A and B are shown apart, each in its own frame.
Chain A
Amino acid sequence: MPTKNSSDKELLAESNIKNLSRRNFLGYIGGASALLVTAAACKKNDDPTNNNSGVDLGSGDPGILNYAYALEQIEAAFYTKVFESPYSGISASESALLGDIRDHEIAHREFFKAALKTSAIQALELDFSSINFSSRDSVLATAKAFEDLGVSAYNGAGKLIASPAYLLLAGQIVSVEARHAAYIRDLIAPGTFADGLDVNGLDMSRSPSEVFAIAGTYVKTKLNISNLPTS
């Protein structure tokens, strides 16, 4: 399987045919092209966090790994706090499984830190002041938001990854996040493990800017995501 870069090169290197009018081509693409131009035009400056100040996540695959590292930092810190100060009325089963989730998120965070070595971003300064850790409702609603966000972030990041090995790693983590998400959702309302899918039964995916628009509430450190891959 060629990587994206090599297939692009092959694509551009290949040649040897005749001529065809541009009109002919545009005739084929027809109505779709108008939509495409609209979509592309809309895409251009849709990212309010896209500037050059703050902690630079970097570019290429290391940038995506830092992106994941940032998200895992949020999740790990959140569950660490949940476990340190359990909400009132927590059951033994909830305590055990939330402890598991904390361990998984710490493992993810520390894995990315180790894999990134000197490219790793700093430890983020987080702000959980909007969460009432003594309230089951508040904690579980936040956990649900984080887990669903994590699933959509990894799903959306897949196409941004150039290395098959890193894509596989992202896949190894996202399914665990989805297991968490389903469990937390069922704790809140039994049977809601996969609510929020589209009509095709597909889960959600989000771009880094969409993810940070949501996660930004909990992060004090200013992040620069402008160098992340966009396709």
Chain B
Amino acid sequence: MKIENIINQIESVDPEIFERLDGRRSAMKNFAKFSGRMALASLPLAFGSMLNKAYGSPTDAITDVLNFALTLEYIESEFYKAGYAAGVAGTLAIPAGAPLNAIKTIRDHEAAHVNFLKTAITSLGGMPVVYTAASFDFTAKGNFTNVFTDYGLFLAVAQTFEDTGVRAYKGQAGNLMANNDVLTAALNIHSVEARHASHIRQMRKASGALVPAGVILKPWITLNQSGIGSPAVQASYDGEEVTTQATVPIINIGGFPISASAASEAFDEALTKEQVITIVTPFFA
């Protein structure tokens, strides 16, 4: 469908379409700014967000969600910056080679997410939240005192951040449905956090620093097991043990031998914004 046709069709139902658009000059300006940064194929969708703004739709709700996501990305970004720097300095024993490279890779992704979300929020007419390294206390008020000197602990906190991030994005998807561009972008970040979680879990397994000793840690979440010997992280895993989805029991579904562990692993679970805030609050200075 051509853009002119869309306008014409709306005009046929709402003769004041042009007035609405004119009356919201900032929406138009923002559209131009946002579209300038977007791939050609996404432009029709950006046009949709412009219309949303023209009609005063819930852009504030959307930028609120994006600021929540930005906050989480700042936590991760500053965490990996500090961890990588400590690894390079030798005060945190991240093995050289693949492990140190992986932390650098993830650090760079999180920094890219911060920049992307800042740009998106600004483009939608919102005000991005601002945090710096000084905003955070990665010991979580003394729960993880050696987080940047104990490699096993560093990875445990990293795993918790990644698994929590996956659950946090999942919980917000429904609040982004009014804007297809933003929803798709958030989903495209969500799956990257899951890739990180998978890799950090493999790094933890390779490092052998699992608690309790001998616990099986996989790239996916089994029941509500963290594989981490601190009750401080348990809230990030509670609820993952469910084995029924949309009233469909998954254990032995269809007559196939699916265990409770596999049934829980096959579906990740969401967290609400409030649950996530409770989890990350100790990490703020």
Chain A interfacial positions (CB closer than 8 Å to B)? 1-4, 7, 10-12, 14-22, 24-25, 28-30, 32-33, 35-41, 43, 97, 100, 103-104, 106-111, 113-115, 151, 154-156, 158-159, 164-165, 167-169, 171-183, 186, 190-191, 193-194, 197, 199-205, 231
CB distance from B35 to the nearest CB of A (A): 5
Cα(A154)–Cα(B267), bound, Å? 14
Give the docked Cα–Cα distance between A154 and B220 (Å).
Answer: 18
Contacts of B226-285 to chain A: CB distance below 8 A: 245-246, 248, 250, 253-254, 256, 258-259, 262-263, 265-270
With contacts A1-B174, A18-B19, A111-B250 known, what are 12 further pairs, Cβ within 8 A?
Answer: A12-B13, A36-B3, A41-B2, A154-B187, A159-B45, A168-B173, A171-B173, A175-B191, A176-B220, A186-B202, A191-B98, A193-B196
B102 within 8 A of A: yes
Q: Which of chain B's residues have a CB closer than 8 A to the CB of A200? A: 112-113, 115-116
Report how far A176 CA is from B201 CA in the complex, Å.
Answer: 13
Contact A176 B265 (CB under 8 A): yes
B18 touches A25 (CB 8 A): yes
Q: Which residues of A contact B108 (CB under 8 A)?
A: 201
CB-CB contacts of B86-117 with A at 8 A, as 1s and 0s? 00000000000010011001101111110110
Q: In angstroms, how far is the closest chain B Cβ from the Cβ of A24? A: 6
Contacts of B269 in A (CB 8 A): 172
Bound-complex Cα distance A177 to B170 (A): 14
- Which of chain A's residues have a CB closer than 8 A to the CB of B202? 183, 186
Max chain B Cβ within 10 angstroms of own Cβ: one of A7, A30, A175? A175
* Partner of B19 from A11, A19, A167 at Cβ < 8 Å: A19
Min CB distance A62 to B, Å, is 13
Q: Nearest chain B CB to A72's CB is how many angstroms away?
A: 10
Query: What are 10 A-B residue pairs whose CB atoms fall within 8 Å in the complex?
Result: A29-B31, A37-B2, A40-B3, A109-B254, A158-B183, A172-B268, A180-B219, A201-B109, A202-B185, A202-B188
Chain B 90-148 interface residues, beta-carbon cutoff 8 Å to A: 98, 101-102, 105-106, 108-113, 115-116
Q: Which of B22, B116, B198, B253 neighbours the largest number of chain A CB atoms within 10 Å of its CB?
A: B198
For residue B197, CB closer than 8 A to chain A, the reply is yes
Within 57-95 of B, Cβ neighbours of A (below 8 Å) are at 57
Is A175's CB under 8 angstroms from B256's CB? Answer: no
* Known A-B contacts A1-B175, A40-B1, A168-B170; A111 and B248 likewise in contact (beta carbons under 8 Å): yes
**A100 contacts B170, C-beta separation under 8 Å:** no
Give the total of B residues in contact with A, Cβ under 8 Å.
91
Most B Cβ at <10 Å: residue of A156, A173, A182, A190: A182
B210 at the interface (CB under 8 A from A): no
Shortest beta-carbon distance from B18 to chain A in Å? 4
**Chain B minimum-CB-distance residue to A194:** B195
Q: How far is the CB of B8 from chain A (nearest CB, A)?
A: 10
Residue of A nearest to B8 (CB): A22
List of A residues within 8 angstroms of B196 by Cβ: 182, 193-194
- Hey, which chain B residues are within 8 Å of A10, CB to CB? 55
From A15, A158, A183, B14 is in contact (CB under 8 Å) with A15
Distance in Å: Cβ of A37 to nearest Cβ of chain B:
5
Q: Is the CB of B3 within 8 A of A11?
A: no
Please state if A7 and B57 are interface contacts (CB–CB under 8 Å).
Answer: yes
Residues of B within 8 A of A35 (CB): 35, 40, 43
B199 contacts chain A at the CB level, 8 A cutoff: yes
Query: Considering the chains assembled together, what is the distance between the CA atoms of A41 and B5 in angstroms?
Result: 12
B189 CB–A CB distance under 8 Å: yes
* Bound complex: CA A17 to CA B19 (Å): 7
- The closest CB in chain B to the CB of A16 belongs to B16
CB pair B262 A174 closer than 8 Å: no
Measured between C-beta atoms, what is the minimum distance from A143 to chain B in Å? 13
Contact A199 B173 (CB under 8 A): no
Q: 8 Å CB contacts to A: which residues of B25-71?
A: 25, 28, 31-32, 35, 40-41, 43-45, 47, 51-52, 55, 57
A21 near B18 with CB under 8 A, answer yes
